[in-house]
Every structure is written in structure tokens, then in C-alpha cells.
Structure 1
Amino acid sequence: MSSAAAPKPIALADKVNTLWEWLDRHFSFPGLLLGSIFFALSLTPSLLPRTEIVQGILSGCCFAVGYGVGNLIHWLWGFLGLRVPPGRVTRALGLIIALACIGFVVTALANANGWQNSVRAVMAMKPVEETQPLVIAAIALAIASILLVIGRVMVLLIRWVWRHLERHVPRRAALVLATILVTIVVALLVNNVFWRSALRAADRFYQQLDAVVSTSDAPPQAWHATGSAQSLIDWRTIGKDSRIYIQSGPSAADIEALTGKPAMEPLRTYVGLRSAERVTERADLALAELQRIGAFDRSVLVLIMPVGTGWVDQAAIDTLEYLHGGDVASVAVQYSYLTSALSLLVEPTYGATTAQALFSAVYDYWTMLPKDARPRLYLHGLSLGALASQNSTTIYDVLGDPFHGALWAGPPFSSSLWGRMTESRQPGSPAWLPRFGNDSAIRFMNQSGRSGWDDLPAWGPLRTVFLQYASDPIVFFSFESDWTKPDWMNAPRGPDVSPALNWYPLVTFLQLALDSALAQTAPVGYGHVYSPHHYIDAWYEVTQPPGWTEAELDALKAAIDPEDYAPF
């Protein structure tokens, strides 16, 4: 009786060869190497601290970008017919690359905790005892896989079009045409179908959210309040955030209790996007409401540009009202329902148009009043509101009768006026805290407040302060960080920027882009969350409220808890 011969065991070398062939067919080793390097670099610090989930998303995106660049280099090498090392050499290089990838990833994950704590340390946050490297790796793997699948589908589409085109045109020309055609079609599809649909949905969502009026949202009773029975503005036409803003400011009694000084009732006016149909009508309505409540009889009048959703930073206006004992009138006009980021993409000119209309309406009336019987006029805005407010007018249009100053906090990187001032800064002054001209018209302030300002020349008739933190990615993001190191990264660094932060092509750009999306997750006094204490210093310089000593200013700061103004 014969028995079947036992199967021969598969040699280890054969198993390795099989694995190698599979990897070589499905992956690019240069792509894996560059992807691993990008993954490792993504774990290094940027401007804001990151949670494991956020870090995993960032690392997955960085790996996918690195893999794509490496794969492109690999493909171009073969497409150009450049020499490829023999099989044994290639396999040896592949083994070295595989080991290097593992080394990069493991080393970076081991250092991730320390890198994140270097960011938390400069923001006075408690250190994280331990990160979860497996959580980061798992999320990164999922994100990278999704992006690589999308990339693979794009490649397959290009190859399919290429095969059909090369029947009619030369092979390389067909490839170029196929790449261009697929890119255009996909871009049009994404922009016209997915992106526009998403924006329309977002616009409807934020519009409905803005219009929500709860049963507890009763109109204010005070005659001077926006939305009251005497007001020219219907309470139902201003948004949820603006209703909170109108009703939650300090009263005269609150101001007296906090400052120990006599106070008046502050006057706040808000015109919603639904309060009138056209921009000019909303500006005229704002002026009429200011006239109704006697705003031009106050000492200070502030024209506010809110952020994209219509939100006004309470920390900015509360502190101004405390400093002036309530002798302040302010007006804000909404120009969008969307968040600042979406508004900047979809409605980039709406904010500027609204700012110009409001300024023109108020300024034209203000200039007709006797100079000794009218309020001092100021501009203010935070974030996208700062960008819009900077476009209110030009200095040439107001030279004959200038307004008195401006406080712009967290100006976005796209602010042209801020950009020109920063580019033209005094030699030796850092990009994160520039000095411009002779310091008599424009000054930049951060957490250090007015420290060192006693040695500066006296202010001129128009005082402008840019309040900005070195850790604010909304201010310091730039598209150029993709390929060049930003000036603000040079020594000396800002006090709230990690000394371990370094610039890496592509990776730093992705880090800053994600930081920008999460800019308001920073603690108060860092990132894009501006502290009432720093607003006090800024407003004091811009408006020069009478009767305050340094000791009283310090006492005011001590009486205000910045955490009361935390966004989350």
C-alpha cells in the first residue's frame, strides 16, 4: 500500500520572497519611507496642543501626503527610464527602508508625549502624563487608508483614460492629457456637486440656528436695548449669539460694584442679517438706532465687526465698558450666518462691504456734529471681524477729520493692512510682535501688555493696536509655509510658542492648517482665545480712559476671571 508523499515545507526564504513580491506589487517603498517620515514629523509640536484623536487625524493625513510624494518620485524614476538597481540590491534597500520606517514611527511615538508637553508648558497647562500611541496609530492608519484608496481610484481613472488616449496620440502625451482631464473632471465634480452642496447645507443650518428664539428669550425691557418695545430693530431678526450679547453685558450697578467708580448704563446696539434686506439698509438702521438711544451723547462710540456667525467677543466690550464707567455706545452689524472659515471661503467680500457701509453711514453723520460735542470714534473686530473692520475705510478718506483709533484682535493672516505693517516692520523686531514706523500710530501687543511702552514716542491723534498672540494660528498660518519657513519661527520665539517647534516642508503646513481649525480650543490668553486682561491693556492705550492708576488697572484685572470668558 503506497502512501502519498508528504508536502514539502515552504522554506522561509520563499515566504519572504512571496511577501516581498506582494508588497512590491501593492506599495511603493519610497512612498512608505517618505510617508513614515511625514508621520513621525507630524508628531512634533506646532502652535497648539493636540489630543490623541486630533493627532491621529493629522498623522494619517501627513502619512498619505508623504506616501503620495514618494510614490510620485518612484513612478517618475521608472517613467524617465532611469537605471534601477539589480534585484538583490533592490531587496536589500527595501529591507533597509522597512526597518527605517519602523524606526521612525516607533521613535516618534515614544517622543510624542514630551513634544506635546512642550506646547502645554508654554501655555501654563498641566502636562499630559501619557499619550496613547496605539490610539494615534490606529486613527492614523484608518485616515491614511481612506486617503490612499481615494488616491488609488484617481490613478486607476488616469490609467483607464490613458489606455484609450494612447490609441490616438503618443504614449507620453496621452498620459499628460489623461492626468489633466481626470484632474479637471474630479475638481469640477467635487466643487460643483459635493462642495457646493455642503456649503448650501451649512448655510441653511447656520441660518436656521441663527433664527432660533427660545421661549426664555424674551425681548429686553430697557428702552435703550436692541429689540425692546421702543427699538427700531425687531428682536426676532437678530441671532442667538447677538441676543445673548445684548442681554448679558454689565449694568451700571455691575460696573460700579467692580470698579468702585460711578457708572452709566452702557449702550449696545446690534443689527442682524434679517433686520433689513440690503447692506445699506442695515447700516442706515444701525445709525437710526444709535440716534434713538442717544449714542452720540456718549464719550466713546465703537463700530464693531463681529466674527462670521455674528458673535461678538464679550471680553472685548465688557472690559471697554468697565474702563469708561459705562460711558460707551457700541454697534455691531451682522454680515453672515457661517463660521469665519466658511464665510471667508464663500463670502469673502461681505464683511468688508458691511464694514464700509456701516462706517460710511455713521462717519458721515459723526462729522456733521460739533467736534467738542461728539463721542470719540473707534473701530473694533476680532478674527474675521478684524479683517472686515480693517476695510472700513482708507486713511486718505478721513485725513480731514480722522476717527480716533482701532483695536483689532487676532487679525487673520489674509489681512492686507496687517500684512503690510508686519512686512514693513522695524529691523530687529520679530514678526510675531512687530514695531512699525515710529510707533506713534500703530502698535502690536501680546500677553506682555504695555510692558516697555513707556519708552516709546507719544501717540499721535489716531491710535491703532493689533492684539495678537504668537500662538494664534489664525494670525500666523500661511500657504507659503508649505515650502518656506515663516519669519515668526525665527529666534527669538514668542513666549507662548514651544522651543521644540521646527519647520518641515508640507508637514508644518498641515499642522498649522489643523491648528487653525481648532484655534479656539486653546486656553484663555493663548491661541485664538483673547483674554479680558489683555483687552484691558489694549483698550487703555487706544482710548485712554481718564482717572485710572496702574494699581486700579491691576485691581480691575484681578476682579475679572478670564475663565468666565472661555469659549468652551
Structure 2
Amino acid sequence: MSFVANAFFRFRHSLSGIGLALGTLLFAAALTPSLVPRTYVMQGILCGVAFGSGYGFGVFWRWIWHYLEMPEPYDRLRSRVNLIVGLICLAVAIVALYLSAGWQNSVRSAMSMEPVPSAYPASVCGLAIVTFLFLLLLTRALIWLGRYISAKIHRFVPRRVANVVGITLTVILIWTIANGLLIQSTFEVLDRSFREYDALIEPDRPQPVAADKTGSAASLLKWDELGRAGREFIASGPTAGEISSLTGRQTVDPIRVYAGLNVADEPKQRAERALEELKRQNGFDRSILVIITPTGTGWVDPAAMNGLEFLYDGNVASIAMQYSYLNSPLSLLFQPEYGAEASRALFTTVYNYWKTLPKDHRPRLYLYGLSLGAMNSEKSISLFEMLEDPINGALWSGPPFPSRDWKRITRDRNEGTPEWLPVFRDGAFARFMNQNGEAPGNGTRWGPLRIVYLQYASDAVVFFDSHAFYRQPDWMNAPRGHDVSPQLRWYPVVTMLQLALDMAFATTTPMGYGHVYAPEHYVDAWIEVADIDGWSEDQINHLKQYLHHKMTGEDVEGYDQRGG
């Protein structure tokens, strides 16, 4: 017992007073609301990381003070100041814990969710302490390693040189181990797991019998080559009968073509196989042709495509191609170039054939992508190559924050329009839409090429900002989106950590919020992009209600890999 007591005594006295004070303040700030509701597990880990960050800044500040040889306060004064500051910080943390349930309910209220009775402060504190201790011990182990290496080198070189070399070698060693052993091994395990999952043939999703379906016996693309997401996409679309029963019009079965990763090794070869299958099904005889860039797993959001197929009475052909087994965050982390390469290959293959067709005997051509698919779809085109014969438009939903064109258009938005729903010039080329439609201030005229970004103000995948570490993002300024908590505030360091966590859990929100895009909002977006008419307002509202009810049912076809 004495050994444990002595160890605890030494550990307690090794802690930094200013570090604990700053850590407690950041702990309290981490309890404030952000974009996505948090469980107590999410909240506890976030608070632990925030506490560790504040503690690290405090230790660094203390080290700078010593290094600059600034005067040290007397022990009695320092003890009293530490006690007063500690009590103040502790009081702030207690108040924040008391208010945390209300803060989380402000986010839930903005998303029409039921309030929670408690934020489980004891569990949050316990998880935060465990997280902080893990980070602290890991950091101290790395510091010990650096000092050990420096001490060995100090036998041969001066102390300061030894310190620099020791730190450098420690960083190189850690990076080599982390990148070569941990990251690559983790990637290989995840890739193998996702690949095996992708190859599983679902017994409740049989191979199509009709010869004009992708994956049928007559198809150029085999059923087992499509992958799980591809089979889901092919099997989940509405039939002509379903569309006709809602609209009362003459309809046809939509055409859906999908090429999985197993179709061919190279993206260009997969794209050519997909094009031949599209031609076999007479996809270029339809009114609308959509080139889809799926998410990382190959998932295509049925909320998007179902709406368009209803709006056009099934007279739609769509073509998609898988480029990864991993979900979007992992694909972006480990294979950032694969998606852009595959998306570019599919676009150029289809577009080059499409533009050889007579303009009055070919479908209108559009692009679609969600999340990572939106970013890669952006990268697939170049406006300069389409000047003579442009496509008709693009719908990109939930574009990730690094998206090239989205960033440029958002940055160059008209003065006075909010970042979460900008207006770009006269709206003839690009428009932004959310749950309430497009931004007021757009003109009524569209140009020959229509681009619509569908985004929610509560989507952290879109609005994550690494600069939130030290400055308030523009989208936090008033007025804010209706789905963002009015109690959200910016705090240095903490807000960036909150947004990073929000981004990781952006698909856990109800439909119509966060990174989960609702079919009724896709309907409005497609009406703008594809210039759809012939529908009354009552008919459109009826379609929206039907699609929403279908997508929120217990057994949602085509939604197994929500978010991708």
C-alpha cells in the first residue's frame, strides 16, 4: 500500500498546476454544443482530449517561462495563486457539467430529436480522466525515449546538439513505427475485411432474371463482379410499376449500370466495360443520363437516384463505378488518388462517346456524387475541355471541406451571403441549396451548365475547418442555419476538436440533418438541375412524402451502407 501511495504522491506532484488549470478550462469548453449530438462516450473522449490539449499548452508555457529565465514567484504566493485559479477552474467545470445536458438538447432540438434527461456527467468525467491519463503516459513515454537517446548521444557531442539529434531521431523512429507498422498494418487489415465483406453474396438479393438488367446472365458485367454496394444499387431501384402507381403516367424501368472493382484491374478498363453494358441496355436512348461517383465503399445514395427516376417517369439511365472497398474517411486517408482517377476514367469514357452522338438524339448528361463522391466527381471534369459541348449539369451533395471547386465558389460568394448557403454571382452557373431550398438572391436565369450543391449547415463533413483551431469560421457568424444550435460558440482549440468528432459521426444524425441527405431535398435539387416541369406543387409534395416515408421505413432497400 505504501508503494502505491508513494507512486500516487510522486505522480500528483509531477503534474503541472497551470497545465491542470488550462486543461480544466478546455474540458469545460468541450462540453458546449457543436453540430452533432454526442453520446456520453463521445463526450468523455472529447473532454479527455481537450483536457490533454490544455494541459500540454500549460506545460509548454511553463517550459518557455523557464527557458527564458523569467523570475519565479515565491512558493507561498505560487501556492495561493494555484489554489485560487484551481478553484475557479473547478467551479467552471462543475457549472459546465451541470449545463451540458441543456447544451446537448439545444442541438437535438435543432434536429427535431427527443431531449435527453441527463448528459451522464459522472461517466463523462470518468472517460475523460482515462483518456487524459492515456495521452499523458504516452507523451511521457515518448519524452523519456527522446531523453534516453539524447543522453547516449551526449557522450560524443555537446548537450544542445545531442538534444536536437535525440528529438529528431525520436520523431523519425515514432513516424517509422506508426506509419510502417501501425498505419499500414491497420490499412491492410481493414482493406482485407472490407474486401471480404464486399464479396459476400446476399441470399436475399438474387441475381436479376431480366436480360436487360446489369448482372443478369445476359449482362456484360457478372453479378458477383458488382460488389455488395453495386448489387444493392442495381436491386434497389424503383420499377416502372411502382413509379406508375404513384404518378399515374406511362413509365419505363430505369436503367442502372454498375461496375465493381472486380470487373477489371485498371479504372479505364472498368469504365469501358461499364460503357459497353450501358450501350447494351440502350442507355443513350433515355432522356437523362447520370454519371455517378459513389462514396468510398461504392455506395450510391438511393435517396438521390430514386427521386430523379420518379420525376422522369423512369426515363433515366445511370452509370457508376467502384474505386475502393473502404468507407469514405478511410479511402480519403489511405487512397486519396484512387477515387479521382476512377471518376475521371468513367467520365471521359462516357463523355467522349456521348459527344459523338447527334445532339438531338442523345440524353442530357449530368453528374452526381455524395460526400467523397462529390469531391471526386468535381475532379473528374475540366470546364475547358467542355467549352464546345458541355454537359448539362451536376448535383453534388455534402461536398467535403477540401473540395476544390466548392471551396473556390464559396470563397468568392456574394458579399453578405452566409457561408453555409452562399449566393454566387447571379446564380446562372452554380447555386447552393439546403432543407429550405436555394438561397434567396439567386436570379431566375440558368446558363447552359447547371451546378447545384446540396448541403446542410449542420454537416461537419462540409464545414470542418482546421483553422477553427485559432479563429472562428465564417459559417458560425449570424445568421446561422436553422439546424445549428443557437448556443454554439467558438473556443480556440476546442472547436476544431469538436468539429473533427462531428465529422466522424456526421452520419448518425436523423435524415435531413448532418451528413444524411433526405430524398425530399434531393427532389428540389433535381428539379433545379435537370429543369424538370410537368409536376404540380401538390404532386411534388406527394412524391416527397412518399419517398420520405419509404426511406424512413424499417427495411430500407439500398441503405445497408448508409454514408459509405
TM range (shorter): over 0.9
**1:391 alignment partner in structure 2:** 379
Q: Within the alignment, does 1:416 sit opposite 2:404 as a pair?
A: yes
Q: Within the alignment, does 1:493 sit opposite 2:441 as a pair?
A: no
Residue identity in the other structure for 1:501? L
Matched ranges for 1:73-472 at <5 A: 73-450=61-438, 452=440, 456-472=443-459
Residues 224 and 20 of structure 1: CA distance in aligned 2, closer, same or farther (over 3 Å): closer
Residue identity in the other structure for 1:496? D
**1:12 alignment partner in structure 2:** none
Give structure 2 stretches of 5+ with no counterpart: 1-5
2:19 is aligned, of 17, 31, 47, to 31
CA deviations over 1:311-331 (Å, ceiling 9, x no partner): 000000000001000000001
Contact residue 40 and residue 120 of structure 2 kept, 8 A: yes
1:216 Cα offset (Å): 3.8
CA deviations over 1:324-361 (Å, ceiling 9, x no partner): 00000001100011110111111111111111111111
2:45 is aligned, of 39, 46, 57, to 57
Give structure 1 stretches of 5+ with no counterpart: 1-17
Q: 2: CA distance between counterparts of 1:192 and 1:36? A: 35
1:169 Cα offset (Å): 3.8
1:541 is aligned, of 491, 510, 528, to 528
Residues 173 and 90 of structure 1: CA distance in aligned 2, closer, same or farther (over 3 Å): farther
1:509 Cα offset (Å): 1.0
**1:68 alignment partner in structure 2:** 56
Residues 78 and 166 of structure 1: CA distance in aligned 2, closer, same or farther (over 3 Å): farther
Q: Which one is further off, 53-62 or 175-184?
A: 175-184
Contact residue 432 and residue 439 of structure 2 kept, 8 A: no
**1:551 alignment partner in structure 2:** 538
Contact residue 158 and residue 182 of structure 1 kept, 8 A: yes
Q: Which one is further off, 75-84 or 56-65?
A: 75-84
**1:15 alignment partner in structure 2:** none
Contact residue 421 and residue 439 of structure 2 kept, 8 A: no
Residue identity in the other structure for 1:539? W
Q: 2: CA distance between counterparts of 1:477 and 1:302? A: 29
Residue identity in the other structure for 1:317? M
**2:34 alignment partner in structure 1:** 46
**2:3 alignment partner in structure 1:** none
1:181 Cα offset (Å): 2.2
Calculate the TM-score normalised by the size of structure 2.
0.94
1:187 Cα offset (Å): 1.6
Residues 103 and 281 of structure 1: CA distance in aligned 2, closer, same or farther (over 3 Å): same
CA deviations over 1:31-51 (Å, ceiling 9, x no partner): 101111111110001110001
Q: 2: CA distance between counterparts of 1:215 and 1:319? A: 27
Q: 2: CA distance between counterparts of 1:401 and 1:239? A: 34
Contact residue 205 and residue 235 of structure 2 kept, 8 A: no
Matched ranges for 1:466-545 at <5 A: 466-545=453-532
Q: 1: CA distance between counterparts of 2:42 and 2:330? A: 20
Q: 1: CA distance between counterparts of 2:91 and 2:439? A: 47
Q: 1: CA distance between counterparts of 2:501 and 2:439? A: 32
Contact residue 304 and residue 331 of structure 1 kept, 8 A: yes
Contact residue 420 and residue 456 of structure 2 kept, 8 A: yes
Residue identity in the other structure for 1:52? Y
Q: Which one is further off, 477-486 or 198-207?
A: 477-486
**2:552 alignment partner in structure 1:** 563
Q: 2: CA distance between counterparts of 1:46 and 1:170? A: 49
CA deviations over 1:438-459 (Å, ceiling 9, x no partner): 2001000001114747x62311
Q: 2: CA distance between counterparts of 1:87 and 1:170? A: 34
Q: Which one is further off, 47-56 or 547-556?
A: 547-556
1:97 Cα offset (Å): 3.0
Residues 54 and 87 of structure 1: CA distance in aligned 2, closer, same or farther (over 3 Å): same
Residues 20 and 321 of structure 1: CA distance in aligned 2, closer, same or farther (over 3 Å): closer
Q: 2: CA distance between counterparts of 1:192 and 1:480? A: 29
Calculate the TM-score normalised by the size of structure 1.
0.94
CA deviations over 1:530-560 (Å, ceiling 9, x no partner): 0001000000111122311222111211222
1:23 Cα offset (Å): 6.3
Contact residue 432 and residue 438 of structure 2 kept, 8 A: no
Contact residue 113 and residue 130 of structure 1 kept, 8 A: yes
**1:14 alignment partner in structure 2:** none
Residues 264 and 20 of structure 1: CA distance in aligned 2, closer, same or farther (over 3 Å): closer
Q: 1: CA distance between counterparts of 2:313 and 2:440? A: 27
Residue identity in the other structure for 2:461? I
Q: Which one is further off, 543-552 or 202-211?
A: 543-552
Q: 2: CA distance between counterparts of 1:357 and 1:23? A: 58
Contact residue 29 and residue 97 of structure 1 kept, 8 A: no
Q: Which one is further off, 290-299 or 62-71?
A: 62-71
Q: CA RMSD in A?
A: 1.8
For the residue of structure 1 that corresponds to 2:437, the secondary structure is: coil
1:298 Cα offset (Å): 0.3
For the residue of structure 1 that corresponds to 2:552, the secondary structure is: helix
* Identity across matched positions, percent: 47
For the residue of structure 1 that corresponds to 2:262, the secondary structure is: coil
Q: 1: CA distance between counterparts of 2:12 and 2:358? A: 81
Q: 2: CA distance between counterparts of 1:97 and 1:24? A: 17
Q: 1: CA distance between counterparts of 2:252 and 2:54? A: 60
Residues 474 and 451 of structure 1: CA distance in aligned 2, closer, same or farther (over 3 Å): closer
Q: 1: CA distance between counterparts of 2:496 and 2:177? A: 26
1:214 Cα offset (Å): 3.2
Residue identity in the other structure for 1:536? V
For the residue of structure 1 that corresponds to 2:65, the secondary structure is: helix
Aligned length: 550
Residues 452 and 73 of structure 1: CA distance in aligned 2, closer, same or farther (over 3 Å): closer
Residue identity in the other structure for 2:363? P
1:116 Cα offset (Å): 0.4
Q: 1: CA distance between counterparts of 2:515 and 2:389? A: 34
